[in-house]
Amino acid sequence: MEILSFFKNTSQIDMKEIIKKIDSKHLIRRYVILILALLLSATSYNLFFVSGKIVTGGVSGTAIITEALFNINPSTFIFIVNIILMFFSYFLLGKSQTIKNLVGSLLYPIFVSLTSNITSYIDINSADLLIKTLFGAVISGIAGGMIFKVGFSSGGSDIITQILSKYSKISIGKASLIVNTIIIGFSGLIFGWINAMYGVIAIYIITTMTDKVLLGISDNKAFFIITSKEDEIKDFIIDNLKHSVTILKSHGGFTNKNRNVLMVTIPTKEYFIFKESIHEIDPDAFFVVTDSYQVSGGE
């Protein structure tokens, strides 16, 4: 039975109900992928980055610095900081966003603790820093893409950038760049600038691999949508995703009918929720998704 049967006798679609149904869709499969991705990420972190003192920014990168300065276990540091960030997330980002960050924020430091002795079983201490950087970044990027693809977050610096983006009007990409630049700058003072440069290389590879796994390598995706429920989808985009919509006039070559095309550009990280929302609002909607490499101007 179609999930939209719930709305059969209603004149207006309940957008909150749609988001709730999307979040519960394939829930077991999504959580299994999330857990595997978090375990993969934690393994890569300990095996390559901690052992090589390669800081890639974020809370995990800061944990490597604090271990060197204060002998604080990385998993303990990550857990404490994530708990604090969850508190801020609840009050500054809202309950729904906090729930998406919750599982990753709690499980990741646990997996970091469980895999902390992995170098005792897999000895790569003699490996070159470049090898550690490349393998660590590729594996971490794949894990990050898996996490975002099923609609979750690993918490940590993701929460910081979301807060900065919301309250300072800085884009998530720029907020992430600012936070990571500061952290890597400190790592250069502690571990040397060679390690810091490897950290920059790692961040680039991680970002590229994450986007590649999620969908392409661009920062944004452009949707072109033809639907019989134009107003509902338009309202969902404006009211819930907080993005603008452009309505294009089109003429069907086969049907010989005039139709409107909704064009919207969204961040790649919102691809999952928006794609599923279109299916839930109008299962018969026709849409095309393309990479968008630059977005500027507009309201």
Q: Residue 21: is it exposed, middle or buried by C-beta count within 10 angstroms (0-12/13-18/19+)?
A: middle
Q: CB pairs under 8 A, 24+ apart, for 245-248?
A: 248/224
Closest listed residue to residue 111, CA positions, set 156, 70, 68: 156
Spell out a b/e string for 232-269, using b for 16 or more CB atoms within 10 Å of the CB, else e.
bbbbbbeeebebebeeeeeeeeeeeeeeebbebbbbbb
Q: How far apart are CA 84 and CA 135, in angstroms?
A: 31
Mean pLDDT calculated for residue range 270-296: 84
pLDDT at 185 over 50: yes
pLDDT at 250 over 50: yes
In eight-state DSSP terms, residue 186 is H
> What are the helix (H) ranges across the chain?
15-24, 27-44, 51-52, 58-70, 74-92, 95-114, 129-149, 157-168, 172-191, 193-215, 230-236, 271-281
Phi/psi at 71 (5° precision): 60, 35
pLDDT of residue 12: 55
Which domains does the chain possess?
A: 22-215 (no CATH), 218-292 (3.30.70.120)
pLDDT at 6 over 70: no
Q: How far apart are CA 261 and CA 198, in angstroms?
A: 45
- Position 2 confidence tier, pLDDT thresholds 50, 70, 90: very low
pLDDT of residue 9: 46
Closest listed residue to residue 202, CA positions, set 131, 153, 118, 109: 131
Mean pLDDT calculated for residue range 104-113: 95
pLDDT tens track for 19-57: 666 666 678 888 999 999 999 999 999 999 999 999 999
- Position 208 confidence tier, pLDDT thresholds 50, 70, 90: confident
pLDDT tens track for 66-95: 999 999 999 999 999 999 999 998 998 888
pLDDT at 11 over 60: no
pLDDT at 206 over 80: yes
| Mean residue pLDDT across the chain | 85
Residue 191 CA: distances (Å) to CA of 52, 113, 222: 10, 23, 42
Does 67 or 283 have the greater pLDDT score?
Answer: 67
Give one DSSP letter per residue of 207-232, joined into a string.
HHHHHHHHHSS-SEEEEEEE-S-HHH
pLDDT tens track for 125-163: 888 999 999 999 999 999 998 998 888 888 888 788 778
Angle at 24 between CA 139 and CA 148, to 5 degrees: 20
Q: How far apart are CA 12 and CA 26, in angstroms?
A: 26
Q: Which two tokens stand for residue 263?
A: 């064009």
